[in-house]
């Protein structure tokens, strides 16, 4: 089952569809966010909308790379939240972000998981065993979790020996699905993804990364809803939204918490 997202889009490899003929209609705030944020952002979106009557919040979840590709192709996105700094750096260098709007708002960690009923893999070293035929990893070319996984395996000297076993997913959610369906013996996902399916997968190792996995968010330069977008970022950094992220397994991003309650300008009430 492929990743399900909230607007008419398959693997996020084509431009985002919209209806330019609906002149005068309020399309609301469109947030393109990394797939790993799906559950938490849906909850945050409902909470933000409740505090801002009449403001509609829509989401487009996919791999960070394909989301940036959509923005570059002219998709009418208001906010972009990436699972890594590298993709957001590319967006900034490409001129796709509103200057000064980029902030970090949460952190995550990378883990190695297996289907609950499989016990052959108990750590990274076991991935070399002959009984391990397939290992799910997000495509390193477009999925931040895949890049983190590849870099971690390279540091251990395992990437080349395991390359023939790698099954590449179009997002971290698809990688998780491969493990859930038992189509692979192991997979690399975020701790938040594993936490949401802890009765079906087993975490066998937390994988150290060269740098913390920090999520940035920014207003898209071409947004027609910049005020609302800034307000959403303000709410995202509020204590209330941070509590939602923590409940979904994310970690607090300390640099975002220092000013968290003073950045909610668009009619939001302080939590």
What is the domain-level CATH number for residue 116? 3.40.190.10
Judgement on whether residues 188 and 116 belong to the same structural domain of the protein? yes
Lowest mean pLDDT among 20-29, 50-59, 104-113, 258-267: 258-267
Residue 10 lies in a domain: no
Judgement on whether residues 61 and 187 belong to the same structural domain of the protein? no
Average pLDDT of the chain to the nearest whole number: 86
pLDDT digits (tens, 9 = 90+) for 166-205: 999 999 999 999 999 999 999 999 999 998 887 899 999 9
Judgement on whether residues 117 and 129 belong to the same structural domain of the protein? yes
Judgement on whether residues 76 and 198 belong to the same structural domain of the protein? no
Q: Is the backbone of residue 28 left (phi > 0), alpha (psi -120 to 50) or beta?
A: left
Judgement on whether residues 100 and 222 belong to the same structural domain of the protein? yes
Residue 115 lies in a domain: yes
Residue-number span of the structural domain to which 158 is assigned: 110-207
The first and second tokens of residue 62, run together, are: 């996919």
Strand partners, 53: none
Quick one: pLDDT at residue 197?
87
Residue 96 lies in a domain: yes
Alpha-carbon distance values, 68 to 62, 75, 145, 213 (Å): 10, 10, 16, 18
> Of 186, 207, 228, which one is at a domain's C-terminal end?
207
Quick one: pLDDT at residue 199?
86
> Of 207, 229, 251, which one is at a domain's C-terminal end?
207
Report the chain's C-alpha Rg in angstroms. 19
Residue 58 lies in a domain: yes
Strand partners, 217: 81, 103
Judgement on whether residues 172 and 42 belong to the same structural domain of the protein? no
Residue 20 lies in a domain: no
Q: What is the number of structural domains in the chain?
A: 2
Residue 143 lies in a domain: yes
Judgement on whether residues 154 and 183 belong to the same structural domain of the protein? yes
Quick one: pLDDT at residue 261?
37
Judgement on whether residues 119 and 153 belong to the same structural domain of the protein? yes
| pLDDT of 12 over the 60 cut | no
Judgement on whether residues 96 and 219 belong to the same structural domain of the protein? yes
Contact 61, 33 (CB under 8 A): yes
Measured CA to CA, the distance from residue 133 to residue 159 in angstroms comes to 15
pLDDT digits (tens, 9 = 90+) for 236-259: 999 999 999 999 999 986 554 444
> Of 207, 227, 251, which one is at a domain's C-terminal end?
207
pLDDT digits (tens, 9 = 90+) for 1-11: 333 333 333 33
Judgement on whether residues 127 and 191 belong to the same structural domain of the protein? yes
Judgement on whether residues 128 and 197 belong to the same structural domain of the protein? yes
Residue 166 lies in a domain: yes
Handedness of CA 89, 90, 91, 95 (dihedral sign): positive
Quick one: pLDDT at residue 114?
97
Instruction: Give phi and psi for 137, each to the nearest 5.
Output: -140, 140
Judgement on whether residues 100 and 225 belong to the same structural domain of the protein? yes
Whether pTM exceeds 0.85: no
Residue 218 lies in a domain: yes
Mean pLDDT within 140-159: 95
């Amino acid at each position: 089952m492929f990743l399900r997202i909230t607007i008419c889009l398959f693997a996020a490899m084509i431009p985002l569809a919209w209806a330019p003929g609906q002149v005068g209609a309020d399309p609301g705030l469109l947030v393109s966010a990394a797939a790993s944020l799906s559950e938490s952002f849906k909850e945050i979106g409902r909470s933000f909308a409740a505090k801002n009557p009449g403001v509609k919040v829509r989401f487009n979840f996919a791999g960070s790379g394909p989301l940036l590709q959509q923005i570059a192709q002219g998709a009418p996105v208001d906010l972009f939240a990436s699972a890594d700094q590298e993709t957001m750096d590319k967006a900034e260098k490409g001129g796709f972000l509103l200057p000064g709007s980029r902030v970090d708002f949460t952190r995550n960690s990378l883990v190695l998981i297996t289907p609950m009923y499989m016990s052959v893999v108990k750590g990274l070293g076991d991935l070399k065993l002959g009984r391990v035929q397939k290992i799910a990893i997000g495509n390193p070319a477009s999925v931040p979790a895949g890049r983190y996984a590849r870099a971690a395996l390279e540091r251990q000297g395992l990437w080349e020996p395991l390359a023939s076993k790698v099954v590449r997913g179009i997002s971290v959610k698809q990688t998780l699905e491969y493990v859930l369906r038992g189509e692979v013996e192991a997979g690399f996902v975020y701790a938040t993804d594993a936490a949401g399916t802890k009765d079906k997968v087993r975490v066998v190792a937390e994988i150290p990364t060269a740098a913390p996995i920090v999520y940035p968010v920014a207003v898209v330069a071409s947004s027609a809803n910049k005020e609302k977008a800034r307000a959403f970022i303000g709410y995202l950094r509020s204590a209330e939204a941070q509590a939602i992220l923590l409940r979904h397994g994310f970690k607090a991003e300390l640099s975002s918490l220092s000013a968290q309650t003073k950045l909610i300008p668009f009619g939001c009430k302080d939590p």
